[in-house]
């Protein structure tokens, strides 16, 4: 089996731990850009040498890896520390004594932007504060060793910002009509207390004997003058050393360059109105006062457009009059207004185009406006359009953002499952999203019961009238869905749209009386007629299948038409921006704009200090994601969740299975007594081997994962575990399976794990357990059931996979308890593998149906009980049951 090439397809991941942060490599789907790979490697090495120092240094510079959400989040937090440093009054005097604490607001904002990365649940206010205190330690260390000034240190770090120096530029309004502004440059003498200023000119004589200090003072002015023509002229003429009267044009040039001065470490005291919105004209939009006649993303909302200066409305004529003023500042209605021709012109165009589309503002447009522009606070919102919501829209947006739920659904008498409290909330959320016609992404962690929530929604909808729902799922999960639907909601009539049940030329008529039609991603491409009707509900399971918008599969799925679209996924989707785009292109087309528009937007976000926060806030109303570890949300989750992972026989497996059963059938007539029992047990063993992998049965060593349904299923589960950076125990009863499994898992995880079986010497076992329980990330351990089933303490794992089955709950539970025992801090998920239609599934069903008997029968299953069955019953048990979904095509 080919192992994953690690070198060119790995990415740096950022894992939050209680005590700090770990960096590690994870296999990536696509080869990364060589330049990014180089930057990642360099940062990783710097981090290895001294983690806190690496983050401190990163904070001085622009984000190295703007595409990585994890990096961006931590970088941003380090950056805020550096920015706080620059705001310290007289940092030079403080140096080693500087003590900084993040503000409560900063912490709250950071927590609201937390991306979904491994270990995220331990990230809280304390973690963020600790991170700052470690950066502070690192800064103190630097200051102990650095001989130069703090200012020089910032420059040496290549910082694009400077600590606040001692130079101040002041701009105030004056009474003079011709020169309505006044300018002065001062410096704060070193020994001075708070707020004492001396004209800058005096520095020239005061520091005659301290050339280095004078150099520091002058160089920040020189540096700023390199970028600002206005300042360069002042410096050149010597006017910088005099108090000046400025015209409004000069004041405007000065104000425009303020960011350049501040970056060079010069503090600017300027009128408040310049920083806020008070001096800028904006378009105002009031939308959605009344509910639209019908709900849905394309519903038309009522819409009013206007213009305002600060809080005061102005007319279109007044805006045009402003455009006739010279560029700079103009005095209008008792205040100064910025006259920026380009900005005003584009505002006028925006205003006109808004006015024109007043009758075509859809619900989705309004949401987009809100989500793109709505989160900036009033004061520093740079966008020229201010949206205000009418009563109805405001109500919808509030309820969307707060996830106010609609619990008016009714599951009816035929619903068989007990919903947990969080599942009930999930259904209510889906119900509400359907009311609004907004596409929803249910992204709960594996094991939280996404299937049951969807089935509950469908059942509730069925209570209200006829239902036509289409479920698109991977072939390997058709069995799961059928079973759960039968079990939880037998009242729903389901049909499988698949050649195995409809034949190659299946048609629409076959589906007419079904409530729920289930099909696979590949059948969506084949059965054109699935696109001929508008489904009430369209559900995609494992929706990451359409993450690549260019594939035929994604295009075919997106061409389906439905009133309510729902996508399910257990992997954290928020981390890959392009995946997100494709999913939302399915759920709410247009919300994230066209692909080019979206990629422009995300690039722009990468440059912004708040990073991808706005994007996350934009999509979060449409995503419901609960994680197992989040006890605040999920209080009633059992500590151990058992799931059946259903696999489907691959083509070659099915053929071999048939052969063995046929052979058995012929032999069965001929043997008796001990021979008969031997034949039964041997056949049982062969069938189990085939279910694991054809190569195990054939004694070959290739183990191509595509030839086994179980390997495919294992991959799906393990990728999720990998993305969450959790650990898994994989049990098999066959020692010869331990190596192939380990190789396969190693390539899926992108790093090796451990193997423990009967031949492993005892001292070696102790070492393996220590390695697995240790601080380094060891993603998996493969154990033979007999050797690993007892005694060991492997609580670092919170997933247990029973790859093949002993059919003895006691033995399996004992093995599970390697992870599920004292010392386990997470919920444990147990995945029990079963191959659909085979002996595995039949015995499992038998155990489930006769739960009472199971305890007595099963331990001796292979010894006695099975030998006592008559030939006909035996054949029923062994024969491959070709249910619709049991063979993947």
Q: Which residues bind another protein (CB under 8 A)?
A: 148, 152, 155-156, 168, 170, 172, 174, 179, 182, 184, 186, 189, 191, 195-199, 201-208, 211-212, 214-216, 218-219, 222-223, 226, 236-246, 269
Q: Is 852 exposed, middle or buried (0-12, 13-18, 19+ CB in 10 A)?
A: exposed
Residue 196 or 341: the one with the smaller Cβ distance to another protein is 196
Residue 264 CB, shortest distance to another protein, in Å, is 10
Nearer to another protein, 234 or 839 (CB): 234
Alpha carbons 128 and 21: distance in angstroms, whole number: 11
Shortest Å, Cβ 163 to another protein = 14
Give Rg (Cα) of the chain: 34
Q: How far is the CB of 195 from another protein (least distance, A)?
A: 5
As a whole number of angstroms, the distance between CA 331 and CA 177 comes to 11
b/e per residue 256-286 (b: at least 16 CB within 10 A): ebbebbbbbbbbbebbebbeebbbbbbbbbb
* Cα–Cα distance, 12 to 575 (Å, whole number): 13
How many whole angstroms from its chain centre is CA 54? 25
Closest distance between another protein and the C-beta of residue 42, in Å? 18
| Nearer Cβ to another protein (82/583) | 82
Query: How far is residue 123 CA from its own chain's centroid?
Result: 15
Main-chain dihedrals φ then ψ at residue 377, nearest 5 degrees: -75, 160
> Residue 728 is inside which H or E element, if any?
strand 728-732
In the complex, the smallest distance separating the C-beta of residue 260 from another protein, rounded to whole angstroms, is 14
Distance in Å, CB of 279 to another protein, minimum: 20
Cβ closer to another protein: 214 or 679? Answer: 214
The least distance separating another protein from the CB of residue 215, rounded to whole angstroms, comes to 5
Largest CA-CA distance found in the chain, in angstroms, rounded: 118
CB closer to another protein, 205 vs 402: 205
Contact 335, 281 (CB under 8 A): no
- Contact in structure between 619 and 587 (CB atoms under 8 Å): no
Q: Give the residue with the Cβ less far from another protein, 168 or 601.
A: 168
Residue nearer to another protein on the CB measure, 241 or 777: 241
Q: Please identify, using beta-carbon distances, which residue of 207 and 336 lies nearer to another protein.
A: 207
In sequence order, what are the residues at sequence separation of 6 or more whose Cβ sits closer than 8 angstroms to the Cβ of residue 286? 303, 304, 305, 306, 387, 388, 389, 390
Three-state SS at 821: coil
Compute how many other C-beta atoms are within 10 angstroms of the C-beta atom of residue 421: 12
Residue with tokens 């989500």: 371
- Cβ-proximal residues to 45 (8 Å cutoff; 6+ apart), any chain: none
Nearer to another protein, 189 or 499 (CB): 189
CB of 213 to another protein, least distance (A): 9
- Rounded-to-integer distance, Cα 446 and Cα 454, Å: 14
Nearer to another protein by C-beta: 269 or 493? 269
Q: How far is the CB of 305 from another protein (least distance, A)?
A: 40
Q: CA-CA distance, 695 to 741, in Å (whole number)? A: 12
Token couple for 627: 């994680």
Which structure tokens are listed for 325? Answer: 């003023």
Identity of the residue, 4 or 244, whose beta carbon is nearer to another protein in the bound complex: 244
Cβ 223 to another protein shortest distance, Å: 5
Residues 859, 863, 864, 869, Cα dihedral to 10°: 100
Cα–Cα distance for residue pair 194/209, rounded to 1 Å: 25
- Burial bucket for residue 719 (CB in 10 Å: 0-12, 13-18, 19+): middle
Closest CA to 443 of 453, 433, 428: 453
Nearer to another protein, 241 or 392 (CB): 241
**Distance between CA 133 and CA 127 in Å, rounded?**
10
Q: Which is nearer to another protein, 202 or 701 (CB)?
A: 202
Locate tokens 């380990």: which residue? 742
Closest approach of Cβ 179 to another protein, in Å? 7
Q: How far is the CB of 98 from another protein (least distance, A)?
A: 20
Task: Let me know: does 844 contact 644? Beta carbons within 8 Å.
Answer: yes
Q: Least CB distance from residue 237 to another protein, whole Å?
A: 7
* DSSP-derived 3-state class of residue 147: coil
For residue 843, the surrounding DSSP H or E stretch is helix 839-849
Contact (Cβ atoms closer than 8 angstroms) between residue 877 and residue 665: no
Cβ distance to another protein smaller for residue 89 or 764 = 89
Quick one: 148 or 678, whose CB is closer to another protein? 148
Minimum CB–partner distance for residue 136 and another protein (Å):
23
**CB 246 → another protein: shortest distance, Å?**
7
144 contact partners, CB below 8 Å, separation of at least 6 = 96
């Amino acid at each position: 089996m080919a192992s994953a090439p690690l070198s060119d397809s790995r990415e740096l991941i950022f894992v939050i731990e209680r005590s700090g942060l770990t960096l590690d490599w994870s296999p990536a789907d696509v080869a990364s850009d060589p330049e990014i790979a180089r930057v990642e490697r360099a940062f990783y090495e710097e981090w290895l040498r001294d983690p806190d120092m690496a983050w401190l240094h990163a904070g001085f510079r622009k984000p190295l890896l703007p595409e990585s959400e994890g990096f961006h989040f931590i970088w941003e937090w380090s950056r805020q520390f550096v920015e706080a440093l620059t705001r310290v009054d007289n940092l030079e005097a403080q140096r080693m004594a500087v003590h900084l604490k993040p503000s409560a607001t900063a912490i709250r904002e950071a927590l609201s932007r937390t991306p979904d990365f491994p270990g995220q649940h331990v990230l809280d206010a304390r973690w963020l504060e600790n991170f700052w205190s470690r950066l502070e330690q690192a800064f103190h260390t630097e200051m102990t060793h650095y001989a130069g000034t703090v200012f020089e240190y910032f420059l040496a770090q290549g910082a694009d910002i400077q600590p606040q120096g001692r130079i101040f530029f002041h701009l105030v309004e004056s009474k003079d009509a011709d020169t309505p502004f006044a300018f002065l440059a001062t410096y704060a003498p070193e020994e001075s207390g708070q707020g004492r200023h001396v004209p800058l000119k005096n520095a020239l004589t005061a520091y005659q004997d301290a050339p280095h200090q004078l150099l520091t003072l002058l160089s920040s002015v020189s540096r700023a003058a390199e970028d600002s023509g206005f300042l360069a002229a002042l410096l050149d003429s010597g006017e910088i050393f005099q108090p000046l009267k400025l015209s409004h044009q000069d004041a405007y040039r000065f104000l425009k360059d303020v960011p350049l001065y501040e970056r060079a470490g010069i503090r600017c005291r300027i009128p408040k109105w310049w920083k806020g919105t008070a001096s800028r004209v904006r378009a105002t939009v009031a939308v959605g006062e009344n509910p639209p006649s019908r709900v849905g993303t394309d519903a038309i909302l009522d819409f009013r457009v206007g213009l305002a200066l600060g809080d005061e409305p102005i007319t279109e004529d007044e805006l045009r009059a402003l455009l006739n003023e010279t560029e700079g500042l103009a005095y209008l209605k008792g205040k100064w207004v910025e006259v920026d021709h380009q900005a005003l012109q584009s505002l006028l165009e925006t205003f006109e185009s808004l006015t024109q589309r007043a009758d075509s503002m859809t619900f989705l447009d309004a949401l987009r406006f809100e989500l793109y522009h709505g989160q900036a606070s009033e004061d520093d919102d740079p966008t020229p359009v201010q949206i205000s919501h009418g009563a109805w829209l405001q109500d919808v947006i509030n309820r969307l953002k707060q996830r106010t739920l609609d619990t008016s659904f009714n599951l009816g008498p035929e619903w068989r499952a007990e919903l947990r409290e969080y599942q009930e909330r999930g259904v209510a959320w889906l119900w509400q999203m359907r009311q609004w016609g907004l596409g929803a992404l249910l992204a709960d962690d594996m094991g939280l019961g996404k299937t049951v929530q969807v089935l509950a929604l469908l059942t509730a909808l069925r209570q209200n009238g006829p239902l036509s729902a289409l479920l698109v799922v991977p072939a390997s999960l058709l069995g799961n869905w059928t079973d759960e639907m039968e079990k939880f909601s037998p009242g729903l009539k389901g049909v499988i749209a698949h050649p195995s049940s409809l034949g190659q030329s299946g048609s629409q008529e076959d589906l007419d009386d079904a409530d729920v039609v289930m099909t696979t991603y590949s059948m969506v491409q084949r059965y054109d007629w699935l696109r001929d009707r508008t489904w009430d509900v369209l559900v995609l399971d494992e929706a990451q299948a359409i993450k690549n918008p260019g594939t035929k599969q994604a295009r075919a799925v997106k061409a389906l038409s439905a009133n309510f679209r729902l996508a399910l996924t257990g992997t954290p989707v928020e981390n890959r921006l392009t995946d997100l785009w494709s999913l939302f292109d399915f759920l709410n087309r247009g919300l994230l704009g066209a692909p080019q528009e979206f990629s422009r937007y995300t690039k722009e976000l990468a440059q912004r200090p708040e990073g991808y926060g706005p994007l996350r806030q934009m999509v979060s109303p449409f995503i419901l994601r609960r994680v197992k570890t989040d006890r605040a949300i999920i209080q009633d989750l059992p500590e151990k969740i058992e799931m059946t992972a259903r696999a489907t026989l691959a083509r070659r497996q099915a053929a071999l299975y048939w052969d063995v059963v046929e052979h058995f059938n012929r032999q069965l007539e001929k043997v008796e007594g001990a021979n008969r029992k031997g034949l039964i047990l041997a056949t049982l063993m062969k069938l189990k081997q085939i279910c694991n992998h054809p190569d195990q049965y054939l004694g070959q060593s290739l183990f191509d994962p595509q030839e086994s349904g179980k390997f495919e299923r294992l991959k799906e589960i393990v990728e999720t575990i990998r993305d969450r950076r959790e650990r898994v125990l994989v049990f098999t009863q066959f020692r010869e399976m331990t190596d192939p499994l380990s190789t396969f898992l190693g390539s899926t995880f992108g790093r090796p794990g451990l193997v423990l079986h009967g031949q492993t010497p005892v001292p070696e076992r102790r070492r393996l357990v220590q390695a697995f329980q240790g601080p380094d990330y060891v993603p998996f351990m493969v154990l033979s059931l007999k050797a690993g089933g007892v005694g060991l303490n492997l609580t670092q794992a919170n997933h247990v996979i029973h790859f093949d089955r002993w059919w003895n709950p006691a033995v399996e539970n004992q093995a599970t308890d390697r992870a599920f025992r004292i010392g386990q801090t997470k919920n444990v998920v147990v995945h029990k593998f079963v191959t659909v239609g085979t002996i595995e599934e039949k015995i499992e069903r038998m155990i489930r149906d006769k739960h009472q008997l199971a305890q007595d029968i099963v331990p001796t299953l292979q010894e006695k009980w099975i030998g006592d069955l008559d030939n006909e019953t035996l054949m029923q048990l062994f024969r491959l049951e070709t249910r619709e979904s049991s063979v993947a095509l």
